[in-house]
Amino acid sequence: MAHNIESLVRYFAGAVFAIMLLATPLSATAQSRNTDEYRKRVEEYKKSLNKATAEVETLKKEKKSASKQLAAIEREMRLRNDYIGEVDKERKALERSINTCNTTIDSLDRVLAHNREVYAEAVRVAYRNYAQNNNTNYILASQSITDAARRKAQVEHIAASRKALADTIIAQTALIDTKRAELQERTSELDSVATILKQERRKLEDNRTQAQRTYNKLSKREKAAVDEQRKQQKQYEKAVAELQKMLKGNKVGAGFSRNTKGLNLPVEGGELSESGYGGTITGKKGDAVRTIHEGIVQDVQYKKTTNKYTVFLGYNEYLVTYTNLSAVNVKKGDVLKKDQKIGVIGSGIDSDDKPYVRIAIYDCDSKQPLKVSSFFKKR
């Protein structure tokens, strides 16, 4: 009898320790957080894409030049391609989350089955002890008061362990139900994301067809200009990627971050509109373009096709591009103060367009610019 109860004490001690190890849920918190972050980024990309798509439709209705329509279509294609990339990242994050969830459920199922076996045996032993008055006899058979206290503590420990095990089984059953519901939700999300990917890839093919048709409408001279512009767009994207890498560890303009707010627009009295890649600030002919923050000039590029300049500035580990400048006042390596003049605003694409400068803000890792309007003073 004493042997049975002491064995049960050791058995429960091992079982409870196993419960503490195995009942700890294999949390998918990190995966869920990553999935939520991807979802947030997907929404930001979607907004930019919607604006670009609306711009294409507006140009069609206004019957603007084929070259201008083509530029808008190609901008929409770039954004759609980036959007597809972000949605695909969300898909992969959901798949990882589902795998983790499945692993968690399998582990909890095994632990629950084990704990139920332990509990069933504990109930059988408790019933036998109760029927045979073993607990009382076990304590009365003590050799001393100290031994009696020890045995009484063991009996109480068995009762407490049995209750703890019962509570654990209830909690584990609820946790498994929660995980199964989470798994079902993630699977539904994955199905939705897969549908979005399929639709967007089809739209991207439509974009390509539309772009080719519009391109075919251009004159030989316009086609040559578009080909050169496409080439320079690729060079611009390559430059952005390379300069982003170079900016890691940059300390000039260290106060700048994605949380920076209340900055002046680069063109005094200008109007900001956000669409496509970054934002466009319109102004008057001859307006100065100024740096929005202290920083360092990473590069200056000149486009022959447009006779315009692009200035690449580094603020902390952020790359900021100023595009469509008719003249520049800075060179590579210059360290600039906030509001220092970097150049002059350039003319619009068509004669009836307002002069403008485009600004895009990238962190070290993003392919698409951050939302620029959040950095400037509200008007």
- pLDDT, position 284: 93
- For every residue of 17-63, which 3-state class applies, written as one string? HHHHHHCCCCCCHHHHHHHHHHHHHHHHHHHHHHHHHHHHHHHHHCC
Residue 34 in any domain: the answer is yes
For residues 26-43, one letter each, b for 16 or more C-beta atoms within 10 angstroms of the residue's C-beta and e for the rest, the string is eebeebbebbeebbebbe
Q: Are 347 and 204 in the same domain?
A: no
Q: Are 197 and 232 in the same domain?
A: no
Residue 45 in any domain: the answer is yes
Residue 83 in any domain: the answer is yes
Domain count, the chain: 2
Q: Are 169 and 245 in the same domain?
A: no
Q: List helix spans (H) across the chain.
A: 2-22, 29-61, 66-132, 134-140, 145-216, 220-246
Nearest to 358 by CA among 303, 321, 319: 321
Domain finish residue from 191, 214, 237: 214
Q: Are 11 and 38 in the same domain?
A: yes
CA separation for the pair 357, 283 (Å, rounded): 8
* Residue 41: domain span: 2-214
Residue 131 has pLDDT above 50, yes or no: no
Lowest mean pLDDT among 29-38, 191-200, 213-222, 289-298: 29-38
CATH at residue 307: 2.70.70.10
Q: List helix spans (H) across 247-347.
A: none
Q: Are 210 and 229 in the same domain?
A: no
Residue 220 in any domain: the answer is no
Residue 127 in any domain: the answer is yes
Q: Are 150 and 290 in the same domain?
A: no
Q: At which residue do the structure tokens 């968690």 appear?
A: 104
Q: Are 189 and 292 in the same domain?
A: no
Is residue 318 within 8 A of residue 256, CB to CB? The reply is yes
The percent of residues in the chain predicted with pLDDT above 90, rounded, is 20
Residues listed for the chain? 379
CA 106 from centre of chain? 28
Q: Which tens digits make up the pLDDT trace of 88-100?
A: 888 888 888 888 8
Residue 50 to residues 56, 57, 164: CA-CA distances in angstroms? 10, 11, 55
Nearest to 269 by CA among 290, 239, 238: 290
Q: Are 298 and 231 in the same domain?
A: yes
> Mean of the pLDDT values across residues 106-114?
80
Q: Are 291 and 343 in the same domain?
A: yes
Residue 119 has pLDDT above 80, yes or no: no
Lowest mean pLDDT among 137-146, 253-262, 330-339: 137-146
Q: Are 115 and 153 in the same domain?
A: yes
Q: Which tens digits make up the pLDDT trace of 290-338?
A: 999 999 999 998 887 788 999 999 998 899 999 999 999 999 999 999 9
- pLDDT, position 281: 92
Residue 219 in any domain: the answer is no
Look at residue 374 and give its three-state secondary structure.
Answer: helix
- pLDDT, position 250: 84
What one-letter code names the amino acid at 354?
K
Domain finish residue from 159, 191, 214: 214
Task: pLDDT band for 18, please (50, 70, 90 cuts).
Answer: very low
CA 169 from centre of chain? 36
Strands 356-362 and 335-336: unpaired
> Mean of the pLDDT values across residues 120-129?
65
Tokens for 306? 């447009």
Q: Are 33 and 116 in the same domain?
A: yes
Phi, psi of 333 (to 5 degrees): 95, -15
Is residue 229 within 8 A of residue 342, CB to CB? The reply is no
Residue 266 in any domain: the answer is yes
Task: pLDDT band for 5, please (50, 70, 90 cuts).
Answer: low
Strands 356-362 and 318-328: antiparallel
| pTM listed for this prediction | 0.51
Q: What is the mean pLDDT of the chain?
A: 77
Residue 201 in any domain: the answer is yes
CA separation for the pair 372, 48 (Å, rounded): 12
Report how far apart the first and last C-alpha atoms of the chain are (Å, whole number). Answer: 85
- pLDDT, position 288: 96
Q: Are 280 and 197 in the same domain?
A: no
